């Protein structure tokens, strides 16, 4: 938290949400072009990311006016998590993000659209 408090410039926040084990951490590592240590990737059926994780440094791109902060989040529907927990995580990213991406390993179907719609509606309540 101390690191975040030390930032005194506008920051562009990019985050990725989606069902657990769909490659959110991998996608963010690719966005960062291998800079820094990166987000941990899992090899088991257990989720690797818990809660919300921030990239350890601000990333700079010449094309953007402001530095970029990447946020990784625990996947929706992870074992042991409730829909209420998923809604709260989504709400945090919905509020903080300049760009919020939805990641899926397949074609996005009606069920995923309805789940995302519900999360957006709940985020607007907070």
pLDDT at 36 > cutoff 60: no
Task: Tell me the C-alpha to C-alpha distance, in Å, between residue 33 and each of 27, 28, 39, 66.
Answer: 10, 9, 12, 18
pLDDT tens track for 55-101: 767 777 777 677 888 888 888 888 888 888 888 888 888 888 999 99
Instruction: Report the number of distinct structural domains present in the chain.
Output: 1
Percent of residues, the chain, with pLDDT higher than 70: 80
Helices (H), 1-126: 2-5, 24-31, 83-96, 110-125
Q: CA nearest 36: which of 21, 16, 56, 11?
A: 56
State which residues form the domain around 118: 2-125
pLDDT at 109 > cutoff 60: yes
Given this model, what pLDDT does residue 39 score?
Answer: 67
CATH number at residue 45: 3.40.50.300
């Amino acid at each position: 938290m101390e690191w975040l408090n030390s930032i005194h410039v506008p920051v562009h926040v990019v985050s990725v949400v989606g069902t657990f084990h769909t490659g959110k951490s991998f996608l963010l590592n690719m966005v960062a072009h291998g800079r820094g240590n990166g987000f941990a990737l899992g090899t088991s059926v257990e989720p690797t990311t818990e809660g919300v994780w921030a990239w350890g440094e601000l990333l700079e791109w010449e094309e953007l006016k402001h530095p970029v902060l990447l946020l990784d989040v625990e996947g929706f529907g992870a074992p042991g998590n409730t829909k209420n927990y998923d809604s709260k995580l989504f709400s945090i990213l919905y509020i903080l993000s300049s760009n919020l991406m939805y990641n899926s390993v397949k074609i996005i179907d009606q069920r995923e659209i309805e789940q995302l719609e519900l999360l957006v509606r709940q985020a607007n309540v907070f």
